Chain A
Amino acid sequence: MPPGEPLLRPDWVVNNLDVIGERLAEHLGMTATAVGVGFVISFVLALLIRRRRALHATVVGAAGILYAIPSLALFAFLIPFSGISFVTAEIALVSYTLLILVRNILLGLDSVPSDVLEAADGMGYTSRQRLWRVELPIALPIIVAGLRIATVTTIGLVTVTSLIGQGGLGYLIVVAGINAFFPTAIYVGALLSVALAVAADALLLAVQRRLTPWSAARGETS
């Protein structure tokens, strides 16, 4: 850090609001893409596991291995195939959501009481109607809990993708901050990233409460 450089220069923040806003939007977009794609893949995987329990160990095991690979190593593996690109970054980010999401979707579906399932069958729900109208609504609080964890984790991880030229707020931290010995950018990037995580978490919780008024009636939060 150059001597005399202050930790935070408000004038830089004010002058660069457009750049900061762009990076924030990029960060949000990368997170939403990763969690969205991750959720769709996890949902399909969870339904497959429900149909064939034998798949459970394989799928969860594979997701666990993906989760354990260090992100830097994963980039290194992927670059020969998809280059230094948005796709490479997203493949890594999506991989990290799978374990959490698959497990929580299964946990949610398994939380539906057996008497409720028996009643649903006895009333004459088809298996598809039972899934969409009974099982998923009841599983929703646990599924959303998984989405919240995945979202917060992904918001943190997006910053790392700045190493392969992406990164949203990570660009501010790494390129504008660390590489240029400019602490203001580091602070702005880090603070906004944390704020984004907290806001996204609160928003998802609010949406879940709105969708499941019955769980509040029972005095539960998530």
Chain B
Amino acid sequence: MTTAAPDDRSTVAARGQPTDTPASTTGAVVELDHVTKRYGPPGTPPAVNELSLTIPAGEICVLVGPSGCGKTTTMKMINRLVEPTSGRLTIDGRDVMQLSPVDLRRQIGYVIQQVGLFPHMTVGDNTGVVPRLLRWPEARIRERVEELLDLVGLEAAAYRDRYPSELSGGERQRVGVARALAADPPVMLMDEPFGAVDPIRRDRLQNEFLRLQSRVRKTIVFVTHDVDEAIKMADRIAILQRGGILAQYDTPDAILSHPANEFVERFVGADRGLKRLSLARVRDLELIRPVLVRAGTDRTDARRELQASAIGFALLVDDGGRPLGWIRDTDVDEQGPIDPEQATPGASLIEPETTLRDALSTMLASSVQLGAVVDQNERVVGLISVDQISEVLQSGNLPGSTDATG
């Protein structure tokens, strides 16, 4: 996904779309209407109870809850690996019960925790499974496989002929995602897809997947038991409690700021205020204009600039505009040019994409409660302060939260 080429080669022209949009079917609305699943006879407690959810097209809906809450059962009813006892499930208004399970499943991507790659097929054949079931011509399958492996960041020439046993866990997971996307389904079901990889690799796979999703815009039903993963991945979170009862269905921000009941409050954790900060990014804040002082400037000039500004610190920068450290007014009492050695180090670099949560911990770690925001060339573009973030926490309104997962 980091090395993926834009997949605007083959089908875009045929569909007459502008070349800057992804060449794929975007999501469909998934609707659950009073869906119940009971494994025992009538009267036994249901696994999923009268569940109603509308998942807007192109969004990631995360089903989260403790074990036994029916989240996986709910997901599997969408592709009928589990048959609902009552209620209606529709995809773009079509009742899933009207299609044969086999036809339905070929139109829905499916990714599971253990990936379930077919050990006797190469990466290329695994990826082409659904197109082959749909009897696409071989040439088109080949082309599609190449496109998909590129999309998930695996070089087709190097990976196509390898067997799953020759791949790392992360690579297998990517092939699993490529296989699920193969027939360009509008809906994807993902059952704890990153549950089996270590935390560092999981974080990378999550970021890659979010980047991928921003291009393919599928409707994704994502099951996890990890609240942090839910907050990170979701456009909407459905929190289920034991017995398959929907406790709350809302955006991550709304769930963190206004938990519907005590169960949700306990489930998301006492640090939900802090968790909310990972929903907003530094670029959503209004940056403070910095006082920039180039190394070698005369101290008298620097003093004048510092006094004219409300902030007690100036940022010492090099000739390229990159931050070197902080300067206090006490540092510029004397005469002569400023010596970079004088600057207080710790002007840690914060990028516009950094989450407020990470920015806060960066700033708290430095002696100056300000952060220098830099562009990709490490040039200072502005400052943020700890005060700004605590204001966000107090106001209850997240800046730019509609785009928080991007």
Interface, chain A (partner B; CB < 8 A): 113, 115-126, 129, 134, 137-138, 140, 212-215, 217-218
Q: How far is A137 from B121 in the complex, measured between Cα atoms in Å? A: 10
Is the Cβ of A122 less than 8 Å from the Cβ of B165?
no
Contact yes or no, B120 A214, CB < 8 A: yes
* A-B pairs with beta carbons under 8 Å apart, 6 shown: A116-B116, A122-B105, A126-B102, A138-B118, A138-B119, A214-B120
A53 to B329, CA, bound (A): 84
- Complex Cα–Cα for A120 and B399 (A): 44
Answer whether residue B350 sits at the interface, using C-beta atoms and an 8 A cutoff. Answer: no
Contact between B120 and A137, CB atoms less than 8 A apart: yes
Which A residues are CB-close (under 8 A) to B114?
A: 113, 115
> Given the known A-B contacts A121-B81, A217-B163, are A115 and B115 also in contact in the complex, defined by CB atoms under 8 Å?
yes
How long is the Cα–Cα vector from A115 to B164 in the complex, in angstroms?
Answer: 14
Q: Which of A120, A124, A126, A215 contacts B118 (CB 8 A)?
A: A120
In the complex where A214-B163, A217-B166 touch, is A123 in contact with B179 (Cβ < 8 A)? Answer: yes
Are B165 and A217 closer than 8 Å at their CB atoms? yes
A-B complex: 8 closest residue pairs judged by Cβ atoms: A119-B116, A122-B110, A124-B105, A124-B106, A115-B114, A115-B116, A218-B165, A217-B163
Which residues of B112-166 are within 8 A (CB) of A? 112-122, 129-130, 133, 162-166
Structural contact, A123 and B110, CB atoms closer than 8 A: yes
Interface residues of B (CB under 8 A from A): 79, 81, 101-106, 110, 112-122, 129-130, 133, 162-166, 179, 189
A124 to B134, CA, bound (A): 9
Chain A residues in 8 Å Cβ range of B163: 213-214, 217-218
Whether the pair A124, B130 counts as a contact (CB closer than 8 A) is yes
User: Smallest distance from the beta carbon of A18 to chain B beta carbons, Å?
Assistant: 45
In the complex, chain B residues whose CB is within 8 Å of the CB of A213 = 163
Enumerate chain A residues within 8 angstroms of B81, measured Cβ to Cβ.
Answer: 118, 121-122
Residue of A nearest to B162 (CB): A217
A73 to B119, CA, bound (A): 46
B117/A119 in contact, CB under 8 A: yes
> Could you say which residues of chain A place their CB within 8 Å of the CB of B119?
113, 116, 138, 214, 218
Q: Which residues of A contact B162 (CB under 8 A)?
A: 217
B residues less than 8 Å from A119 (CB atoms): 110, 112, 115-118
CB distance from A206 to the nearest CB of B (A): 18
User: Told that A117-B116, A123-B129, A123-B179 touch, could you supply 5 new A-B pairs with CB distance under 8 A?
Assistant: A119-B110, A122-B189, A124-B104, A124-B105, A214-B165
User: Cα distance A123–B115 when bound, in Å?
Assistant: 12
Say which residue of B106, B113, B122 sits within 8 Å of A123 (CB atoms).
Answer: B106
Complex-state Cα separation, A117 to B119, whole angstroms: 11
Q: Is the CB of B112 within 8 A of A123?
A: no
Most chain A CB inside 10 Å of its own CB: which residue of B81, B104, B115, B118: B118
Asked if B112 and A122 sit within 8 Å, CB to CB, the answer is yes
Do the beta carbons of B120 and A124 come within 8 Å of each other?
Answer: no
Rounded to whole angstroms, the CA-CA distance of A116 and B165 in the bound complex is 13
Q: A119-B118, A212-B120 are in contact. Are A125 and B112 (CB under 8 A)?
A: no
Question: Which residues of A are found within 8 Å of B103, using beta-carbon distances?
Answer: 124
> A217-B165, A217-B166 given as contacts; is B120 within 8 A of A118 (CB)?
no
CA distance A45 to B108 in the complex (A): 35
**How many Å lie between the Cα of A118 and that of B166 in the bound state?**
22
A116 CA to B113 CA, complexed, in Å: 11
- Contact of B112 (CB < 8 Å), options: A115, A212, A214: A115
Decide if A116 touches B118 in the complex (CB within 8 Å).
yes
Are B115 and A129 in contact, CB atoms less than 8 angstroms apart?
no
Given the complex of chains A and B, what is the CA–CA distance between A116 and B112 in angstroms? 10
Q: How far is the CB of B94 from chain A (nearest CB, A)?
A: 16
Q: When the two chains form their complex, are residues B116 and A124 in contact, meaning their CB atoms are under 8 A apart?
A: no
**How far is it, in angstroms, between the C-alpha of A218 and the C-alpha of B113 when the chains are bound?**
21
Distance, CA A190 to CA B74, complexed state (A)? 65
Q: Tell me, rounded to whole Å, the shortest Cβ–Cβ distance linking B175 to chain A.
A: 11
User: Which B residues are in CB contact (< 8 Å) with A118?
Assistant: 81, 112, 116
Min Cβ gap B315→A in Å is 53
Contacts of B115 in A (CB 8 A): 115, 119
Residues of B within 8 Å of A212, CB to CB, are 120
- How far apart are B78's CB and chain A's nearest CB, in angstroms? 11
Max chain B C-beta neighbours (<10 A), residue from A123, A126, A138, A218: A123
A122 near B118 with CB under 8 A, answer no
Q: Are A122 and B120 neighbours in the complex by a CB distance under 8 Å?
A: no
Q: Are A129 and B118 in contact (CB under 8 A)?
A: no
CB distance from A76 to the nearest CB of B (A): 46
- Complex contacts, A214 vs chain B, CB 8 Å: 119-122, 163-165
A212 to B120 Cα, complex, angstroms? 7
Residues in A with CB closer than 8 Å to B79 are 122
Alpha-carbon distance A118/B102, docked complex (angstroms): 13
Contacts of A123 in B (CB 8 A): 105-106, 110, 129-130, 133, 179
Asked whether A129 lies within 8 Å of B133 as measured between CB atoms, the reply is yes
